[in-house]
């Protein structure tokens, strides 16, 4: 009886996650328009198994946001997320609170270091509004991670993070990605976007003060 009750609650929890929580996590902060847009880099992974578009409004111009994106990486400026959680799993992450000049000229082929396994590579020459990474982290899987800045006004910008994943449709992969990777990715990326927003808005304030 207890086992049947536990199984029932587990089934209910999984169904609630699949039908309610998962769709919201996959589009955290994004508008209906942003969910439908075609972004630079999407052509690299046209038929993903799993896809998310998350976004946040930043009270800063793209020039105050892009420096933080250029220095993403374990070995660079970190991920502006939950550093303590990343260190808990053995990653030496310390998110920077300043722009690091030595990482401001990324080149195609540069690795976005996610951990010991490496990470996706910069897929194209970055510009002022787009940064696109693509790679095969483990055999059989592909990952596109791209960032896009959509100016709303002189001092307001939409920061959009797009993730596309493709992995073999096996039951172990399904359980791993749905049960662990997707929720953790949503938690960390939402915190990362808020972390970038705080840093970019502070940088924009500093730039305005210097120009005054």
pTM for the structure as a whole: 0.87
pLDDT band at 8 (very low <50, low <70, confident <90, very high): low
Contacts of 45 (CB under 8 A, 6+ apart): 134, 142, 143, 144, 164, 166
**Contact between 158 and 149 (Cβ < 8 Å):** yes
* pLDDT tens column, 95-110: 999 999 999 999 999 9
18/15 Cα distance (integer angstroms): 5
Structural element, H or E, at residue 60:
none
Interior angle at CA 15, CA 29 and CA 143, nearest 5: 50
* pLDDT tens column, 44-76: 999 998 899 999 999 999 999 999 999 999 999
């Amino acid at each position: 009886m207890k086992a049947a009750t536990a199984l029932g609650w587990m089934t209910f929890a999984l169904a609630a996650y699949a039908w309610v929580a998962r769709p919201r996590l996959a589009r955290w902060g994004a508008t209906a328009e942003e969910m439908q847009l075609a972004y630079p880099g999407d052509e690299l992974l046209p038929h993903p198994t799993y896809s998310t578009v998350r976004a946040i409004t930043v009270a800063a111009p793209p020039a105050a946001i892009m420096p933080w994106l250029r220095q993403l990486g374990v070995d660079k400026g970190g991920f502006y997320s939950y550093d303590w959680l990343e260190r808990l799993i053995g990653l030496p992450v310390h998110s920077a609170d300043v722009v690091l000049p030595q990482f401001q000229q990324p080149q195609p082929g540069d690795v976005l270091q996610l951990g010991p396994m490496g990470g996706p590579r910069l897929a194209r020459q970055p510009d002022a509004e787009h940064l696109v990474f693509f790679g095969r982290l483990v055999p059989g899987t592909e990952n596109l991670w791209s960032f896009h800045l959509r100016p709303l006004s002189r001092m307001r910008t939409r920061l959009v993070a797009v993730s596309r994943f493709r992995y073999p449709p096996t039951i172990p992969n399904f359980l791993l990605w749905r049960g662990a990777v997707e929720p953790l990715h949503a938690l960390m990326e939402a915190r990362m976007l808020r972390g970038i927003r705080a840093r970019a808005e502070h940088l924009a304030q500093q730039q305005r003060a210097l120009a005054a």
